[in-house]
Structure 1
Amino acid sequence: MTIHAERRGVAAPPDLARSWLLVPATKPENFTPAAESGVDAVILDLEDAVSPPAKPAARDRVVEWLGRGGSAWVRINDATTPYWADDLAALSAAPGLAGVMLAKTESGNQADATADRLPEGTRILALIESAMGLEAAPEIARADGVFRLAFGSGDFRRDTGMSDDPMAMAYPRSRLVVASRAARLAGPIDGPTISTNETVLQRDSALTASMGLTGKLCMHPDQALAVNRALSPSQDDINWAREVIAELGEDGERVRDGSDLPRLAKAKKVAELARAFGLD
């Protein structure tokens, strides 16, 4: 796993985190390098990345690393499998657990049951990967412990037969954005780009931003730079925000009419993100 110094920077808080790196739990040698790679958040994957016979050993490695000072999110197995309860039992006392990603979430009850088995306040990323999960997205977004929604786009396409064409994926992405906003959650996290082609990654990350999603799953730390750039305010955005705030006042004391208020609100949001990402 190659670490690039230029990709280090201010780590965004979880509610604003842009790049979410999935790391197979079968590769403990990559846990620490991933955490130091400059991505906003690391997810140690106990689900799709681990075959059933290897799950107990992989789970033990994750718990051991979290107990030795490591900190990360963990993708646990879905609630319909026997591995779900074992994952939660093992992780409930792990000191470095940042939160869990619940695979294949399909109901608010599954999220509630997950929260009940974890220490109070543990954050849950609900991964939506099926038509059933998408239909239940508003209910899931309001469930106890759910912190953000994430889009398992590959499994969703397999479940529905949809293609990866942006038009085909517009509805599920939009539904997750609206469900998140209605539940007062941070913006959802988009599915990963499998291709290592930089042009494709930049295109996909720009699409993520245009649809209103504010994070993106990554398969490799080298993807973080493009993802973080696409999901952050540009320098032009930051300059515009400064000018608007200077013109209208931080508290709106120079607002002239109703049309100025939305402009000021957007400018203050851009300025807030710039500060959070260390871009100001």
Structure 2
Amino acid sequence: MQLLRSMLYVPGSRVSAIEKARELPADAVILDLEDAVIPDQKPGARKAVADVLSAGGFGPRAALVRVNAGGTPWHHEDVSMVAVSGAAGVVLPKAEDPSQVEAVAARLDDEMSVWAMIETPRGVLAAERIASTSGVAGLIAGTNDLRLDLQAKVSPDRAALTHALQMIVLAARAAGVAAIDGVFNAPKDAEGLRRECLQGRLFGFDGKTLIHPEQLGIANDVFGPTPDEVSFAARQIEGFTSAQANGQGVAVVDGVIVEELHVRSARQLIVKADLIRDRGW
């Protein structure tokens, strides 16, 4: 199991921010060569990211690189750099067709993966096929671009994006890959971030992409199991084990029916809690 509660975007042109990211409580760091870097700085940012990755030091954090989208002047060289960088993989913007993902995956080392950003209407409609493409480790919701393309208004409940977000989760789960929620644009609005993280977890997302280190604590908290959830999971396992010993196929724990599928989920939750405890954040 890989922890993916928090995936922090860090501008590839800001070496000091990347250096700091090595010590931040982020489950993954996305070194960004796309939106966070202006055109004139893209070649320099690519070189800086390559140097930082070669130095390593990210510990248990997955170090990913968001390349510029296919069809841009920087895409080919971005992917070529990542392929020999030692990064965990590529974050591919504006994925709309499996062929785009296949073209990138074919250039990567076998240990690297592609994280496809679903941020256009065409991407949402193709999400199932993209998620099932060989080499894809997860789907990332690109909510800002998607909202613009849909000509939808911003609202705290993200009502206009609900269908698209659920389609992304459905596609990811059908393919057995991760699903990561989009960014929350107000770094100082802790209450708004928590509300959106809770909504994302309710939808089934594994974690959230973030734009500021101050957002890490809330994302890690919301997308990690609570003490009550861990305790209940342990009781589910214990109750089901006792029921089986007595020749029963189901148990009742805290007034709730527990079957084998619930026990599998409980075991996964406890493994996740153990990983978080061992990581220390």
Matched, 1:110 2:109: no
SS in 2 for 1:26: coil
Q: How many angstroms does 1:200 deviate by?
A: 0.8
Distance in 1, matches of 2:246 and 2:164, equals: 41
Unaligned segments of structure 1, at least 5 residues: 1-12
Q: How many angstroms does 1:266 deviate by?
A: 3.0
Q: How many angstroms does 1:270 deviate by?
A: 2.1
Matched, 1:230 2:230: no
Verify the 8 A CA contact 1:129 1:153 in the aligned structure 2: yes
What residue number does 1:80 align with?
A: 71
Judged with a 3 Å threshold, the aligned counterparts in structure 2 of structure 1 residues 29 and 234 are, in CA distance, closer, same or farther, namely: same
Matched, 1:26 2:13: yes
Matched, 1:244 2:236: yes
What one-letter code is carried by the residue in structure 2 that aligns with 1:109?
A: S
Q: Residue deviations 1:28-72, cap 9 Å, x none? A: 111121121111111110001111121101100000111122442
Larger deviation: 63-72 or 191-200?
A: 63-72
Q: How many angstroms does 1:239 deviate by?
A: 1.0
What one-letter code is carried by the residue in structure 2 that aligns with 1:227?
A: A
Judged with a 3 Å threshold, the aligned counterparts in structure 2 of structure 1 residues 65 and 172 are, in CA distance, closer, same or farther, namely: same
What residue number does 1:158 align with?
A: 148
Distance in 2, matches of 1:140 and 1:250, equals: 43
Q: How many angstroms does 1:107 deviate by?
A: 0.8
| Match runs of 1:114-263 below 5 Å | 114-165=104-155, 166-186=158-178, 188-195=179-186, 196-249=188-241, 253=245, 256-258=248-250, 259-261=257-259, 262-263=261-262
Verify the 8 A CA contact 2:236 2:258 in the aligned structure 1: no
What one-letter code is carried by the residue in structure 2 that aligns with 1:94?
A: S
SS in 2 for 1:55: helix
TM-score by length of 2: 0.89
Matched, 1:59 2:49: no
Distance in 2, matches of 1:250 and 1:142, equals: 39
Give RMSD over aligned pairs: 1.9
Q: How many angstroms does 1:263 deviate by?
A: 3.1
SS in 1 for 2:185: coil
Q: How many angstroms does 1:17 deviate by?
A: 1.1
What is the aligned length?
A: 265
Q: How many angstroms does 1:123 deviate by?
A: 1.0
Distance in 2, matches of 1:251 and 1:86, equals: 59
What residue number does 1:5 align with?
A: none
What residue number does 1:10 align with?
A: none
TM-score by length of 1: 0.89
SS in 1 for 2:116: strand
The structure 2 residue matched to 1:38, chosen from 25, 46, 54, is 25
Q: How many angstroms does 1:250 deviate by?
A: 8.8
SS in 1 for 2:8: strand
Verify the 8 A CA contact 1:248 1:255 in the aligned structure 2: no
What one-letter code is carried by the residue in structure 2 that aligns with 1:260?
A: V
User: Percent same amino acid among aligned pairs?
Assistant: 32
Verify the 8 A CA contact 1:108 1:143 in the aligned structure 2: yes
What one-letter code is carried by the residue in structure 2 that aligns with 1:87?
A: D
What residue number does 1:4 align with?
A: none
